[in-house]
Amino acid sequence: MKMQKVRILSYDIFRGILLIGMVVFHIIVNLTSLNFNQELFYWVPLGFVLLLGVILAKFMENKSLGKIKLAIKLLAIFLIGNIPNFLHKDINLNDFIIGNSEIFSFEILIPMILVILITLFFTNFRKNKLFLSILFFLLIFINYPGVHSYNLLFTIYGLIGYFIGSAFNLNPHPGKKRLLIPVFVFSVIPFLIIQYFQLFDFLILIQVLSMYFLFNFLFENNQILAILGQYSLFLYVTHIVLLKSLSAYYQINYFVEFIGFSLFFITILYLMALVLKKRTLKLL
């Protein structure tokens, strides 16, 4: 009998929330003409990378071959998904190094690959909180000189998640519900002051950790979100391809239309996930 993969419901629920946030963001970007502050959705990709680090620490220690296979799969998705960009855009080596999100599609996959590969060498000191502290200070330092590298920032987020997952218990059990008000405050406040706070990346990192607990308190044992989260990699790729294809033929002009389409589209993704689940196709 094939061994079943261990899954943590709270991780899947939060990935389901992150997926919904990403879908809404891409609907706005691809199908509407709305001008909005895209930093309001910064917590979404940050959350995916941070949670990847946690999962690597919790479930993939001493599984070097599994990490390498996952990195190769993500690299294949990135390369195949960017074939149109390679053919039609002027891309240089520096774009790959810094991670030019204006050129590449599926750009979040590159820092994910880097996090996976770097953690191959972190096994012996993964519970050393000194490294976590160093990463936090590095994240703060990067904000001041104005260093702009998508790959560098998101790799740091993933490594922070890795050391957090190694050192702390992130299980949002009922006894922690006394934290509901604080995590709500830290989840909401960044949306209000996001344009005025200098330590932007550090602030959003705290927001993501707070939102993880908040949504798991609010949607405890929610199977719809869990299924979306369980197949988030497949749905991430699928929804981008569908929306980019649809953008040439359809545009949303009204708020009610936006709400209706978003609900419809997320429902379609959920049904896709159900089909995958019934076929026991484990993509993550």
Could you tell me which of 44, 88, 32, 12 has the C-alpha nearest to residue 256?
32
Which helix (H) or strand (E) covers residue 123, if one does? none
- What is the reported pTM? 0.88
Residue 5's SS3 state is: coil
64-121 confidence digits (pLDDT tens): 899 999 999 999 999 999 888 888 777 877 888 788 777 888 999 999 999 999 888 8
* C-alpha–C-alpha distance, residues 13 and 19, integer Å: 10
* Planar angle of CA 228, 231, 236, nearest 5 degrees: 85
pLDDT tens for each residue of the chain, 284 residues long: 344 455 788 999 999 999 999 999 999 999 998 888 888 898 999 999 999 999 998 888 888 899 999 999 999 999 999 888 888 777 877 888 788 777 888 999 999 999 999 888 876 655 556 666 677 667 666 665 556 788 888 998 999 899 888 888 787 665 666 788 889 999 998 888 876 665 567 788 889 999 999 998 889 889 999 999 999 999 999 999 999 999 989 999 999 999 999 999 999 999 999 998 887 554 44
User: How high is the pLDDT of residue 280?
Assistant: 56
Residue 130 tokens read as 């000194």
Q: Look up residue 219 and give its amino acid.
A: F
Q: Where are the alpha helices (DSSP H) in 32-149?
A: 43-59, 64-81, 83-88, 93-98, 109-118, 129-143
Task: Locate the domains of the chain by residue range.
Answer: 9-33+42-181+199-278
* CB-based contact 53:157 (threshold 8 Å): yes
